[in-house]
Structure 1
Amino acid sequence: MDLASAIHMLTAKAARAVGLHDRGLLQVGLKADINVIDMPRLALPIPYIAHDLPAGGRRLDQAASGYDATIVSGVVIRRMDKGTGVFPGRLVRAVR
């Protein structure tokens, strides 16, 4: 699978599948969260089990490196694989 197809499946296609029609594309008027990736530095270590959910629940987690920036609602929230301490987004509980 080529990179463009993978990005489409993880963004626009996934957003439409769960009813988030204001996401998944870079287009005026839509919500856009953007990852700026340095492809030569991109690395994905082995996933691990995190025990951080309520009532002792567990989940599969995986770190990544090689992200130059992550931008949410126009604000840089991660720079060079480190958080900036700013959290402009909000939790989406259900599509209305």
Structure 2
Amino acid sequence: MSRFSIKSNALQDRMRMAIWLLAGLAFYVAVFLIDGARFPTVQVTCQKLGHVTTFAWVGYWISRQAIGRVVHCSGTEDRLARAIVIGCVIIAGLTGL
């Protein structure tokens, strides 16, 4: 295994789930661009979607630290545990805990 592939794998591992964070940030930018006086429902919806996607990203990394890597050949218990952790982080974040 070459040194480049090791660095590439480490970078790829750090960038895992980056699309969720970018989507959350895009929703937050949309909140600032949308006129809240004319479209309050759209603005609040974008804000909530930003919260959900950002908390999903945070929940993934919390579960990754607590449970470890879950790969395609992992057991059902590991996958269920990751889903529970991510779901609990999203619910806790949205309720303001």
| Same-fold status (TM-score > 0.5) | no
Q: TM-score, normalised by structure 2?
A: 0.29
Larger RCO (CA under 8 A, 6+ residues apart): 2
Could you say which structure has the larger radius of gyration? 2
* Higher strand residue share: 1
* Higher helix residue share: 2
Q: TM-score, normalised by structure 1?
A: 0.29
